Structure 1
Amino acid sequence: MSGLIGKKIGMTSLYNADGQALACTVIEAGPCVVTHVKTQDTDGYQAVQLGYGEKKEKRTTKPLLGHFKKAGTTPKRKLVEFKTFERELSLGETLQAADVFVEGDFIDVVGTVKGRGFQGVVKRHGFGGVGGQTHGQHNRARHPGSIGACSFPSRVFKGIRMAGRMGGNRVKVQNLRVLKVLSEQNLIVVSGSVPGAKNSFLILDK
């Protein structure tokens, strides 16, 4: 599956032929440099490693510096492997947004959701609370209520929905349509929203 590494720029809206406003996300897709070409003979599987984003040399380990030097490029912040590409790529080659995506494509976007810290059951799982303010329940509005039985099974089952850390996990959003490709600015506009905060890294799979 071919693709690129990108960065979330923000959200905007576009109008379709019927005059409806569509919520869209603007993504900087590339430029990505081919930093490693893996083959069946040398690595046991086929893949292409792409690098994206600049990184200071003093913040890069010496093994990685040699890795990037072999590819003839500067140190990169993000490295991702892609299994297949439509054409053969060579070490050190640069890929732009227009080289991979065209308008009308459907892509999958992988990102890390914004971390929301420790949250209760109402925000984390959509609970409705335990009822109104009557019958002496003056401080139970957003509480989870009962979480288990008494003498049997005498325990709380694993995986029960409770308060806890929310967000910060890796999520894939599938089948987003590429509405526009701005080749000069290296930007693509996709329909809908994608996970992550502004300027966060994204993996775009075609």
Structure 2
Amino acid sequence: MKFILGKKIAMTQVFLPSGEVMPVTRVVAGPCTVVQVKEKQAVQLGFGDKKEFRLNKPDAGHLKGLTPVAHLKEFQVEKTDGIKRGDVVALETFVVGDVISVTGVSKGKGFAGVVKRHHFRGGPASHGHKDNLRAPGSIGAGGVQRVFKGMRMAGRMGGDQVTIHNLEVVEVHPETNEIYIKGAVPGGRNGLLEIVGEGELLMKKTEIKNEIKQEQAPEVAPVEVPVETPVVAPIEEAAAEVVTETTNS
């Protein structure tokens, strides 16, 4: 299984050799750094740029020696042989014609009623049916004094994790890290996407730099201190001064 993280840019269209117009979604995929290899069952990838001073201490320790990333996602793998921390998932792992699954968070629609949220038909619009055109109707029988779980009612719409299967890769541009996917993918612009397909995962090997930044003390220029030479009076003069002071006293 191969996988990569990406960011939705916009929808556009491409012309096939037959002249047919195909709607596609332009996605920036990668580069994704392997942040952690969890034993033999999962790999954690990092994607997106983030300034180092915005990392808290746990994230800074978790990403030590790596470039700071904005998003972290785990992918289940059959085996982690040959995958090491610091490796980069190459976009070339996906080729034109691959069938992939794309997972993202759908656009938020806010609080919506049952007609918009669950496609209820609504009540009749004839006479005698006042103010119940878009009403939900009955939410349960009278014999059970509760509402069953899962009852379709009004509420917040959108903002859910959605996966679309059987999408096709139309174009791959490694020089710009862009991949064109046939059709629409979940979410809005700049939304995070998980792209998964069948095949071999290609990695770019890199070395982790464990550099410790040492603070260098500022250089202090030497200061010349003048040395005072002590003045010592001759012994005879000193003795004469003592005798004079004694006589006067």
Q: Which residue of 2 aligns with 1:81?
A: 74
In the superposition, relative to structure 1, how do residues 4 and 128 fare at CA in structure 2: closer, same or farther (>3 Å)? same
Instruction: Give aligned pairs, total.
Output: 196
2:159 matches 1:156? no
Find the aligned partners of 2:167 and 2:81 in 1 and give their Cα distance. Answer: 23
Deviation at 1:12, TM superposition (A): 1.3
Moved over 4 A (4+): none
Rounded Cα–Cα distance in structure 2 between residues aligned with 1:29 and 1:194: 14
Shift of 1:3: 0.6
**RMSD value, Cα:** 2.0
User: Secondary structure of the residue that 2:140 maps to in structure 1?
Assistant: coil
* Aligned twin of 1:94: 88
Structure with the greater alpha carbon radius of gyration: 2
Shift of 1:87: 7.3
Task: Give the aligned partner of residue 109 of structure 1.
Answer: 102
Counterpart residue type for residue 120 of structure 1: G
1:178 aligns with 2:169: yes
Q: Which runs of 5+ in 2 are unaligned?
A: 198-249
Give the aligned partner of residue 42 of structure 1.
Answer: none
> What are the residue-to-residue correspondences of 1:8-87 with 2, within 5 Å?
8-39=8-39, 45-69=40-64, 72-84=65-77
Q: Within 5 Å, which residues of 2 pair with 1:109-128? A: 109-128=102-121
TM-score under structure 2 length normalisation:
0.72
Q: Within 1, Cα distance between the matches of 2:14 and 2:21?
A: 6
Q: For the Cα contact (< 8 Å) 1:37–1:48, is it kept in 2?
A: yes
Q: 1:202 to 1:76 in 2, by over 3 A?
A: same
- Which TM-score applies when normalising by structure 1? 0.86
Asked if structure 1 preserves the Cα contact closer than 8 Å seen for 2:41 and 2:80, the reply is no
1:189 corresponds to which residue? 180
Q: 2:157 aligns with which of 162, 166, 169?
A: 166
Aligned counterparts of 2:141 and 2:156: Cα–Cα separation in 1? 25
